[in-house]
């Protein structure tokens, strides 16, 4: 029973993140150019992944 509750909690959390992502993207595109928004999202994602690799939280398995 505990694992089912945990799974439902994670599903709700995931749905919230996805829903808010669409909302924030819609708001950002209304304020700026879609290419600027896309470039910003990719840059932020790259910096976060680069940080996680640098502190050895995320392993790429290359080399």
Q: How far apart are CA 34 and CA 25, in angstroms?
A: 9
Nearest to 25 by CA among 12, 9, 36: 36
Separation of alpha carbons 36 and 24, rounded Å: 14
User: Would you say how long the chain is, in residues?
Assistant: 63
- Closest residue by Cα to residue 49 from 59, 39, 63: 59
Q: Residue 1 has what pLDDT?
A: 66
Would you give the end-to-end CA distance of the chain in angstroms?
A: 42
Q: What is the pLDDT of residue 20?
A: 93
Domain coordinates of the chain in residue numbers? 1-31, 34-63
Q: What is the pLDDT of residue 58?
A: 80
Give me the tens of pLDDT residue by residue for the chain, a chain 63 residues long.
688 999 999 999 999 999 998 898 889 889 999 999 999 999 999 999 999 999 988 887 876
């Amino acid at each position: 029973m505990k694992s089912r509750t945990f799974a439902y909690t994670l599903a709700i959390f995931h749905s919230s993140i996805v829903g808010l992502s669409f909302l924030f993207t819609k708001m950002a595109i209304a304020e700026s150019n879609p290419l600027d928004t896309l470039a910003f999202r990719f840059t932020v994602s790259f910096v976060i992944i680069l940080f996680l690799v640098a502190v050895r939280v995320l392993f790429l398995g290359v080399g």
